[in-house]
Chains A and B, each alone.
Chain A
Amino acid sequence: MLPTEAQEFKLTGIGASPGICIGKAYLVDREGVKVVPKYFINPDRTANEINRFKKAVVKAKEDLRQIISRMPEDLQHQTNILETHLLLFDDKMLFGRTIDFIDQDKVNAEWALKTVVGQIKSMFRSMEDAYLKERVSDIIHVSDRIMHYLTGAEAVKISEIDKRVILVARDLSPADTSQIQLERIKGFLTDVGGKTSHTGIIARTLDIPAVLGLVNATALIRNDDILIVDGNNGVVIINPEDHTLVEYEERQERYEAYRARITRESHLQALTADGEVIKVQGNIELPEEVVSVIDNGGDGIGLYRTEFQYMNRSEFPDEFELFDKYRDVVEVMAPNPVTIRTLDINGDKALSYTNNGNEVNPVLGLRAIRYCLQNPEVFRTQLRAILRAAAYGNVRILFPMITGCAELENARQMLNEAAESLAAEGIEHNPDIEVGVMIEVPSAVIMADQLAEKCDFFSIGTNDLIQYSLAIDRSNRNVAYLYDPLNPAIIRMVKHVADVARKKKIRVAMCGEMAGEPIHVPILLGLGITEWSMNPHAIPVVKRMVRGLSSIDARKFVKEIVDLTSAEEINRLARERFRIHINSGLVINQE
């Protein structure tokens, strides 16, 4: 039940981005448009209401015509889409039905439009073809434009939020978040999604507190409710009482002071007490996140996930487009390294324009390097773009999902061919880049000694390694309890890879989620892994922890834990032994 009057209550979710904020709730419904009001129209006023709708359509069309006329010629493709949108305005299903609806149900035009669009959407949802299914977005664009004129000056879209608010939504798509004028958002709350969701990544990048996976926040929170968002602990307090407000204002101040302090230190090297240098780097997905890595004092980019540029579109990006983005990142980061991971699609990220949508188990299917080797055109385009960007800074290339030597050899072969073709065409590039292998499949762990002969570095991806080694589906709640980087089998595997790398004298990095958690810091240090890459926000805390540890102690500790039999024991021992260090990284979270 909803509380009838302002009464303090609390919701718990996943703290996806740290920080504390206090502000007013702003509800965004599923479509990213503010909740549409519904009211009835006096029967003799329906003609007026229909006219109001028609006028909005005329204005929206005029608007779009203007946009088209101002479109530069090189965006011809975009223009074509918008011209189709122009035709949609008059479509019987949209225009005609909305008018009928106003007439028959005597409701306001906004509600009629929303209902009609809702019906159209559900027809599209039942379609099988992913590309055609996505075309519903064309209709949403058009109806959004009409809605804008119906509601007049009133802000209806997240792009027009004019006060600093806490956004409450079921979920936010990349399209939604790209519309938000982010300086106006204080915090994010969503019903679904977790740390690795798009909203989570955006929130961390922008340093905005976020609590996600709240299940029913949109049902329980109302517009303009006062909210406290505690992203450190994954807690939301609705309608706080005065004493709660005071308490959180103090916490917020302490947290910000603490962040400021550790961020200042973060630009310095992470040196252990006994003098070992740890390279603490950032993982990024959007090119813009490079700023966050620099702000947080990252020593480079240990994992640049490149899938984002392939998503939310209808065709593959071309070489120049990819090169242009890579070059941005590489130039900004230079002389520090940028490790670009080649396309890893069709696992959890499927593209609408590839035809692999029907695999029963995509995680075990044609994904990542397997997909690239079978689609040489797609792969070659990306390899060429990476080699070209390499001329502008320090680039390393990383191949995902390698299971054995043959795949690595084939990928290297294609890389060489890409370099030769660039050389033959006289295009500026750098063919001498380090080649790395993602160690994320158990077979790659076992074959590490052979793989080491054919590459320059390893990068251990714990997320997939855990999933494949322990045979657990990461998104299956029933088995989520098994997902623990401290599982002794995982510790042993990581140790094996680190030992092989040392013996073969190649570098070994860790780019999985494991690297960003303070409790894992002493273990990684003890395993002899000296390059870590993590969510940019974790960099300052991790660097701070490293400075308080000695690698000799950490190594002794790892010798002890390899013989333990459960994740719980390892966890307990780590907490006992390094309590002070972990707390130094987590002062605020422990409150």
Chain B
Amino acid sequence: MNLSQPDLHRPVVIVNELGLHARSAAKIAEVAQNAKHKVWIARDTEKVDAASIIDLLTLGCIKGTEIVVCIESPADQPILNQIIDLVEAGFGE
């Protein structure tokens, strides 16, 4: 990934055993709340507010689900990276 060429959305696969449950969703929401603009998480055709735990939970992402993290402004690139890292690391579980 070339960081000098910012992208506004990136796919990532949920790897932790329990999927996107309350605690993992809370970690994403915590990061997303620091963004300057809105951050979205999309799964298939559904798109939810990454700052809302409950919204994230309603996506029902089990292990192996691919989600797409979307930001609205390049200024939130670090937020996007942080979320991707979190998911890839299985939320440290």
Which residues on A are within 8 Å of B, measured CB to CB?
Answer: 80-81, 84, 87-88, 91-94, 120, 123-124, 127-129, 131-133, 135, 138-139, 314
We find that the number of chain B residues with CB closer than 8 angstroms to chain A is 20
B52 at the binding interface (Cβ < 8 Å): yes
B66 at the binding interface (Cβ < 8 Å): no
Contacts of A131 in B (CB 8 A): 18-19, 21, 62
Contacts of A132 in B (CB 8 A): 19-21, 57, 60-62
* Residue in chain A with minimal CB distance to B48: A93
Cα A570 to Cα B19 in complex, Å, equals 55
Instruction: Using A80-B23, A129-B19, A132-B19 as known contacts, say yes or no to A93 and B62 having CB atoms under 8 A apart.
Output: no
Assess whether A88 is in contact with B19, with CB atoms less than 8 Å apart.
Answer: no
Cα A128 to Cα B64 in complex, Å, equals 14
Chain B window 14-38, contacts with chain A (Cβ cutoff 8 Å), 1 for yes, 0 for no? 0000111111001001100000000
Assess whether A87 is in contact with B53, with CB atoms less than 8 Å apart.
Answer: yes
B69 at the binding interface (Cβ < 8 Å): no
B53 touches which of A91, A123, A129, A314 (Cβ 8 Å): A91
* Residue in chain B with minimal CB distance to A126: B60
Assess whether A314 is in contact with B60, with CB atoms less than 8 Å apart.
Answer: no
Assess whether B22 is in contact with A128, with CB atoms less than 8 Å apart.
Answer: no
**Which residue of B19, B21, B53 has the most chain A CB atoms within 10 A of its CB atom?**
B53
Number of A-B contacts (CB under 8 A): 60
Assess whether A129 is in contact with B62, with CB atoms less than 8 Å apart.
Answer: yes
Cα A127 to Cα B54 in complex, Å, equals 13
Assess whether A120 is in contact with B54, with CB atoms less than 8 Å apart.
Answer: yes
- The smallest beta-carbon distance between A81 and chain B, in angstroms, is 7
* Residue in chain B with minimal CB distance to A85: B22
Assess whether B18 is in contact with A92, with CB atoms less than 8 Å apart.
Answer: no
- The smallest beta-carbon distance between B68 and chain A, in angstroms, is 19
A84 touches which of B18, B26, B51 (Cβ 8 Å): B26
Q: Is the interface of A mostly helix, strand, loop or mixed?
A: helix
Instruction: Using A129-B60, A131-B18, A314-B18 as known contacts, say yes or no to A81 and B54 having CB atoms under 8 A apart.
Output: no
Assess whether A120 is in contact with B58, with CB atoms less than 8 Å apart.
Answer: yes
Assess whether B55 is in contact with A93, with CB atoms less than 8 Å apart.
Answer: yes
CB pairs A–B below 8 angstroms (5 shown): A87-B53, A123-B58, A132-B20, A132-B62, A135-B22
- The smallest beta-carbon distance between A144 and chain B, in angstroms, is 15
* Residue in chain B with minimal CB distance to A87: B26
Assess whether A88 is in contact with B20, with CB atoms less than 8 Å apart.
Answer: no
- The smallest beta-carbon distance between B17 and chain A, in angstroms, is 9
- The smallest beta-carbon distance between B67 and chain A, in angstroms, is 13
Contacts of A138 in B (CB 8 A): 22
Contacts of B30 in A (CB 8 A): 87
Contacts of A91 in B (CB 8 A): 29, 52-55
Assess whether B51 is in contact with A135, with CB atoms less than 8 Å apart.
Answer: no
Assess whether B49 is in contact with A92, with CB atoms less than 8 Å apart.
Answer: yes
Cα A71 to Cα B54 in complex, Å, equals 25
Assess whether B21 is in contact with A135, with CB atoms less than 8 Å apart.
Answer: yes
- The smallest beta-carbon distance between A171 and chain B, in angstroms, is 24
Cα A88 to Cα B49 in complex, Å, equals 14
Contacts of A314 in B (CB 8 A): 18
- The smallest beta-carbon distance between A68 and chain B, in angstroms, is 14
Assess whether A94 is in contact with B23, with CB atoms less than 8 Å apart.
Answer: no
Contacts of A88 in B (CB 8 A): 22, 26, 53-54
* Residue in chain A with minimal CB distance to B60: A127
Assess whether A124 is in contact with B51, with CB atoms less than 8 Å apart.
Answer: no
* Residue in chain B with minimal CB distance to A129: B62
- The smallest beta-carbon distance between B24 and chain A, in angstroms, is 9
CB contacts under 8 Å to A, within B37-55, are 49, 51-55
Assess whether A139 is in contact with B18, with CB atoms less than 8 Å apart.
Answer: no
A131-B62, A132-B62 known; 10 new pairs, CB 8 Å cut-off, are: A88-B22, A92-B55, A93-B53, A129-B62, A131-B19, A132-B20, A133-B60, A135-B22, A138-B22, A139-B54
- The smallest beta-carbon distance between A146 and chain B, in angstroms, is 14
- The smallest beta-carbon distance between A99 and chain B, in angstroms, is 14
* Residue in chain A with minimal CB distance to B55: A93
